[in-house]
Every structure is written in structure tokens, then in C-alpha cells.
Structure 1
Amino acid sequence: MNAIDSQQQIVDLQINAKTVMPFDPNQKELLFNHSVLINDGTIVDILSSDQVASKYQAKTVVELGQHTLLPSFNNHYCSIGFKAFHHIGSDLPLNLRIQNKIQPLETKHLSPELASISSELGLADLFRAGCAQFSSQYSYPKQAMEVANKHSVEALIYYSIDVSDDRQTFQHQLTEFLKLRDETKHRQNIELGLSLSNPELLTKDQLNSFSGLYNELMIKLLISLNPSFHRSHKSFKSSKARFKLLKEHHLLSPDLHLIDVFGLSRQEVSFLSKNKVKSIVCPCAQLIHANALSPVDFLHSTNANLYIGTNNYLSSNLNPLKELQLLAWLTKLESQNAQLFDAKALLGFAVHSNNLDTPLTSGAMSIGAKANITAFEHANQYTNDYDPFTQIVYTAEQSRISHLWVNGIAKVKAYQLTDIDEQYLTKTLSKWLN
């Protein structure tokens, strides 16, 4: 380290990049030849690289002269513990794959130990995809929480309540959820939400009681408007009927997270937007299940809270970039409007966090925000009139993500995972499944 000037502030990390996309309304949308300064896991400054030496002395300097820095991605809906089964039956139709392959293997092998191994392998995939945040619904939520906590990743973990014909089971599961929520509430980077299937099976009194609890505790609630065959019950009639049920029981709020949002009228979609319901789009899964695509163009036009997820239980994909590219092309095709969505808006679906109240909590690269940063390497030299937003959305591949910092700590460095022993985990997983 060079001699320290009395005017210089010592920081942990300085990242010099060709381009910075802060996604901060208080900054320009593109900053060329800029540096991001990080200390104690927090962004302390973003300024022109030629101005850094007069103000800061960094313990570590990373030169990324052909890269764009942007906020890390957030996979808003996945099943991180399902990674162990991604390769099973991928050549089969979806219903046969799940009924004849996946579910028997889950019944036979799935355990807390296997869920931990699989969750860490899933997190390795997320890191490679540039994700420092995720929301997950799968068996053994406690194991997913422990893996997220181990790697200091922000996570929303949904505790699944599968409402069956035995309505007494619902109350028991709800009690277990509240117990686990209380046990883990001290973990600042992790939140426990609730996934509720088949709400039609609950009595009116049960729904009213649950609604009061949901609104009082501000529980993050995940519900599918159009459940796939393996999650649906004969009581499910249509997305409109489920929408009506949610509306009648005052569950349409910013704490409601909806997947499979289609089959509604424009008036109903507008109502979702008005009530700030979080709409999560998972294009790969919707195509695989031969569902209709969510009306993303109309949702966006009503200022809906739109986010991208991967639903890897159906798609075997944990990479939000793949979903973004598919969404970009499909929405243009469906709307017959080639100008629909600029690339920056699409990227926003993937980089925004669960809290959009301020730049510090929205996922933006802002001074004072957590240093969750992805570095994307461009294939060729480019000039300042080149649009990196378009490059990342329409032509980017996961293989171009060279670095990922989570709270200022490198999780991917020069394309390599830094603290997940993927080879060991894969070997251990094979022993379990064999």
C-alpha cells in the first residue's frame, strides 16, 4: 500500500470499471470510467476513477476495464433446495416428470441433511448468475435459512402450508410457522414468509382469522393465481375465483406475492397494481407448463410491482438473466410491439429488492447501501455511445458474469466461486441419491 495522505480515507475495496449502472434515481443512469468504494460491506462513494486518489486509499483494488458494474440480481421466486433434482427426468413431459420421477425421489430421499446440501448447491448457481438475494419456497425452509445465513445473503424463505381436506392440519401448520418465525426474527438478512396453497379449502372463519393475522403481522404471503397440476386441488376453479376470494378477505396488499398472474380482466389487474401487490413473472416455467404469459405490458403500464423469478421446480433454471431475455422477446411478440420495454426497465425487474421505499433499500447502488454488486464482462471493446443495458438484456449469458460481491465480500471472483466447495457438495449429493 502506498503512503497514506492525511486527507485520504482508508476503505476496504475499490472497484474500477468501464461502466457503472447504479439504478439510483439520484445518479446518472450510466457512469463511465467510475469507481465504487466499499468499506465494512457498505458503498461509501461512487465517483470518477481519476478522482479517487485524492480522497481514498483502498486496501484492495480491482481493475475491471471491460466490465459493467450493476446491482446484484434478485431471484424473486425459486426453490433453492430443489437443485438436487434439476437433472431428473428432464426429457419427460412435465406432469410425468413430477409425478413419476420427482415426487417419488423426494419422498424417498429428501431430508434436512439433503436439503442443506441441495440448498448450498442452489446458492452456488445463484451466485454464478449474479444473485445476492433470493426468495425460495421448498421443503425444509429452516435449512434454506441456515444456508442463506451462512453466506450472509438476503433471503425471503416461504414456509409452505398445503391446505388439504383436513382443515385441522392448517391450524397446526400455522402454529409451527409462527413458532419458526419467532425463532428466526433476530436474523436481519432473512425473513420468513408464508406460502398458502388451496385457500379455497379453508372455512370463512378460518380465512377471516388468517387475514387478521396476516395484516397485523405484515406476513409476506405467496399464492399462485393459477396453480399447476401438482399444487392444485379439485376445489380450484379459476384465477378469477381465487382473485375474488383474496379480495373478499382483504389479502390483496403489498405483502401479497402472486405468481402465475394471468386469466384476469384488466380491471382486476389494475386492482392488483392499485393495492401494490407484488407480481412475480417466471416465463420459462409458464412456457414449460404451457400456461399463458402474464400480461406484463399491461401490468407495467399500471405501475404494478413487477419482479422476475425462475420457478426452477418447473423450469430447472436459477438464472434470472435467462428469464429476462425470454420475457423481453415474448412480450414483444404477444403485444406485437417491438418497442415494448426498454432494456433498463427489464433489468429493473431483476435488480430491485423486496423494499422499494428508498434507494438504500431498493437494491440500487447508492452511497450507504449494502455492497451487493455484479460485474458483467463485455465481449468486445465499446465506446461511450454503446448501450450496455441492451447488451446485458438481449445478448448476455451467465458466463459473462465475472464477479459478485455480497456485502462487499467476493462470492465469485474471476468466474470462480470463492467459498462454496461445489465439487465436495456434488460428490456428497451423489452418495445420497445413489
Structure 2
Amino acid sequence: MNSNSPQTVDSLIHAEWIIPIRPANTQLKHHSIAIKDGVIVDLLPTELAKQQYCSTNTHELEQQLLMPGLVNAHGHAAMSLFRGMADDQDLHSWLQNHIWPAEAQWVDAEFVKDGSLLAIAEMLRSGTTCYSDMYFFPDAAAEAVQDSGIRAQFCFPVLDFASTWGSDADDYISKGLAARDKWQHQPLLNFAFGPHAPYTVSDQPMSRIAALAAELDIGIQIHCHETQQEVTDAINKDGERPLARLNRLGLLGPSTQLVHMTALNDADIELVRLSGAHVVHCPASNLKLASGFCPTQQLLELDINVALGTDGAASNNNLDLFSEMHIAALLAKATSGNAAALGDWQALEMATLAGAKALGLDHKIGSLEKGKQADLIAIDMSNIEQQPIYQPISQLVYTHCASNVKHSWIAGTQVLHNRQPTQINLTQLAQKAQQWRDKIQPAQH
């Protein structure tokens, strides 16, 4: 074979801009990505790429920007079927008076599969290629992942009390581990423990989760310090702040994902820093439920890893991670009194590499580097709302780009083409969502 002949790859993508995330603060103009066996094999100037590589699957993306797919580090995907059902409530009444009764009545494997597919379609169309899910019936959610081609982490929920999926903490743990065993060879799926919150899981199952997670080397995701009320109640009940309790029980470590984290004092933040745990910031949901403000700038200044999540569509009401970037950046500025807080680059990292790191996947995804999985999205930058372009990063964070996501690939397979998911029928999906509404709505009155 002639040493000068081009190397054949599975896909070759030429773009106007590439934002690889690593090296940091890098914007590449007229570069290309070569993909083989689901992996990025090269990232180089387009002129060189056309000389060195050939592919029957070549994409010329004029006026488009390539970047890593977004990582939604916390949500409840199937709750998309409850979107808009109980708006304008505080967290306590939203959960106790609306969500938990609705879940008891409606949530089963079919609900979870249909609701997950609805969420996945929305996430793919808004740039998310990997999401973390904490919800019941993970087997059904895993089927939705398999059907759609998206990447996911399933944090199977653990509670002291019964639901339609489990009877008590031991039952949840047993069922969650069985689901993990069943799906562990699915390359796009990871499993983690999902103890719901400090106030819904008692000490004994918390300690058991800590021991099992360490033994199995898997993550733990938990809602924590979501409101000041949660912290005050814990102090009144046990004389101990929730984070201090989790630390005492062995739950805080480098594989722990702490979601929300609005009511923090300096001692709480120091516990997180020393443990190496990750924080998952859900700005829109926290605002909508009036839960409080996560001190993101303070956390970032202490080198605590902060990822972004949408939470579920029942409390957001969308799964648009570009919107979360925007809100997170503005909130950090307002709450710190510093207009330079959480700049556009940091916001973009939170939605990509920081999310991957929180999920323990940063060796695979989160940046466009040789040897990593080819999880990437293409964004059309030609629209009038993005003009003129001085800094592409600024447009990504501050001009609402979700509806401009045109294509996406996960492990090298195209899962979104011209805004259409390649493995999901949107017409059928909308019909199913409407059928669920027609069943659920009469029961709400």
C-alpha cells in the first residue's frame, strides 16, 4: 500500500469551528474530526484531513460548530409525562401533594419507557448525548436507551418507603443491582446508587449503600441540601447537618454526585472539597421551586467539580442544557456580585467535561480528543439570532442555541440528522404522550 494514500475511516466531519473543550480555551477554525470504530482517531485542519483521510461517510458542515455532546448530570427522564402538571408550588407541596400521589397512581414500566423516550428525544434535539437518570423501573428506561442510541447513567432510587417499584430500601437495592447485572454489558449504560435524599433514607441503608458502592466501584447520586428547610429539619431532628451525616456514614467520596446543594455553609463546602465529591447544579429547577441558589462561583474557586443538570421536566419544564448554561452563568454573576463569575468557557465546561467527570466518564467523553468516544454535536451558527459572531463560545452560552442543534453522534453513530432523531419516531411519540395526558388529566381534578 502506498504510504501516502489516505487512511480510510468510518466518518469524516469537516466543520467551520470546533470547540474541543481540551485544551481549555481552544477554538479551532476549519478543522475536521476523523472517526473509526466509534472513537476519535484525529482532529486536524480540514486541508490536511482531506489529504490524510477518506470516508464514504463524509459531512461538510458549513457555518456549523462541532463540540462534545452535552452531559445532563441529573434528571428524572420519565417525569416528562408530568410536564406542566403541578406548576408554581414549593418543593414540599409539589412532591407531597402532587408528584408522589401521581407516581403512586401511574408509574409502571410502560410509563417509564414512554416517558424516557419522550425525554430522550427532547434531549437529543437540544444537544444532550449523555444523561443521568434517577427513577423507578430502570429496566424499562434501559430499553428506551437501547432503542434511541443515547448514553446514560442510571441511579436506581432507594427510599425507606414503598413505591410502585419497591417496598423498602433493601428491595430497591436488590432490584437496582439486578438491573445493573442485566445491563452491564450494554456499552452506553452505567449504573449508580440513587439514595433519594437524606430525609428519605435512614442510616442503615445509607451505610449499606456506601459499602456496596465502594465494593462495586460505582457512583452514588443523591439530592442534598436542596432547601434551607431540609437542613433546618435535619438539625432539629438529629442535631446534624445532612452533609455531615453523609460524611459520617461514609457516603462522601470521589464517586459521589451531590445534586442541588443550595443551602451550604463554609463547613459544608469544606466537607465536599476534602471528599472530592461532585456537585450537580440544577439552576432552572431550583429557581422554579424557590429552593435557593447554589454558590457555584465559591465552589469553582475551591476546585470543586460542578456539573449541570436539568432535573425532571415536571419541575423545569424543559430538558434544555443550553438554557441551564445560560441561567447558571447569569445566576453566578448576580449571587456573587461579580460580572466575571462563571464565564462562558466555564459554563460550557460544566455542561460537558465536568458532567462527564461527575459521572466517572471523563476518560471516555466530555471533550473531543484522540482516543475518546465520538460523542459530538453540530450546531448551525448561520441563523440571524447568532449574528455577528465574534466569539462562538459566547453565542453558545448566551444566545439560546438548543434549537440550532442539527446533528449528533454517540460513539460514532449518528443519532440526530437535520434535527430528526434517527431511531425515534417523533409522530408516534407525540401520540403516546397525548394518550398519557388523556389518562392522567381527568384524575387531577
Q: TM-score, normalised by structure 1?
A: 0.89
The 10-residue stretch of structure 1 (79-88 or 279-288) with the greater mean CA deviation from structure 2 = 79-88
Match of 1:371 in 2: 374
Q: 1:358 to 1:261 in 2, by over 3 A?
A: closer
Deviation at 1:102, TM superposition (A): 4.2
Quick one: distance in 2 between partners of 1:215 and 1:180? 18
1:69 paired with 2:66, answer yes
| Matching residue of 2:350 | 349
Q: Is the 8 A contact 1:17 1:35 kept in 2?
A: yes
Please tell me whether the aligned partners of residues 376 and 409 of structure 2 are also in contact (alpha carbons under 8 angstroms).
yes
- Of 124, 144, 148, which aligns to 1:151? 148
Q: 2:325 matched to which residue of 1?
A: 324
> Is 1:33–1:48's contact at 8 Å kept on the other side of the alignment?
yes
| 1:283-321 CA distance string (max 9 Å, x none) | 011111112211100100011111000112421221111
With over 3 angstroms needed to count, the CA separation of the structure-2 counterparts of 1:403 and 1:222, relative to structure 1, is same
In structure 2, the residue matched to 1:52 is 49
Hey, what's the Cα distance between the residues in 2 that align with 1:358 and 1:407? 13
Q: CA deviation at 1:80?
A: 1.0
Partner of 1:242: 242
Distance 1:359 1:233, change over 3 A: closer
1:101: Cα distance to partner? Answer: 4.9
Q: How does 1:23-422 map to 2 (within 5 A)?
A: 23-25=21-23, 29-90=26-87, 101-164=98-161, 169-199=168-198, 207-227=206-226, 237=236, 241-312=241-312, 313-352=314-353, 353-355=355-357, 360-378=363-381, 379=383, 386-422=390-426
How much does 1:142 deviate? Answer: 1.4
State whether residues 94 and 288 of structure 1, in contact with CA within 8 Å, keep that contact through their aligned partners in structure 2.
no
Matches of 1:229 and 1:97, distance apart in 2: 16
Residues 130-159 of structure 1 deviation map (CA, whole Å, 9 limit, x = unaligned) = 111000112222111121123332211111
Distance 1:318 1:203 in 2: 31
Q: How many residues align?
A: 429
Q: Cα 1:163–1:290, aligned 2, differ >3 Å: closer, same or farther?
A: same
Seen in structure 2, the aligned counterparts of structure 1 residues 362 and 80 have a Cα distance that, compared at 3 Å, is same
After TM superposition, give the deviation of residue 33 of structure 1 in Å.
0.7
| Identical residues among aligned pairs (%) | 23
Deviation at 1:337, TM superposition (A): 0.7
Task: From the superposition, tell whether residues 237 and 289 of structure 1 become closer, same or farther in structure 2 (CA, over 3 Å).
Answer: farther
Report the AA paired with residue 195 of structure 1. Answer: G
TM-superposed CA distance for 1:325, in Å, is: 0.4
Deviations 1:90-127 (A, max 9, x none): 46676665555544443333221122111111100010
Q: Distance in 2 between matches of 1:202 and 1:393?
A: 37
The aligned residue for residue 19 of structure 2 is 21
Q: Residue deviations 1:194-243, cap 9 Å, x none? A: 21135467665554444322322223112222356999997675996111
CA distance in structure 1 between the aligned counterparts of 2:229 and 2:186, rounded to whole angstroms: 32
Q: CA deviation at 1:370?
A: 1.2
Structure 1 Cα separation of the partners of residues 362 and 242 of structure 2: 34
Please, which moves more after superposition, 239-248 or 28-37?
Answer: 239-248
Structure 1 portions without partners, runs of 5+: none
Q: Distance in 2 between matches of 1:93 and 1:405?
A: 38
Once the two structures are overlaid, the 10-residue window that deviates more, 196-205 or 12-21, is 196-205
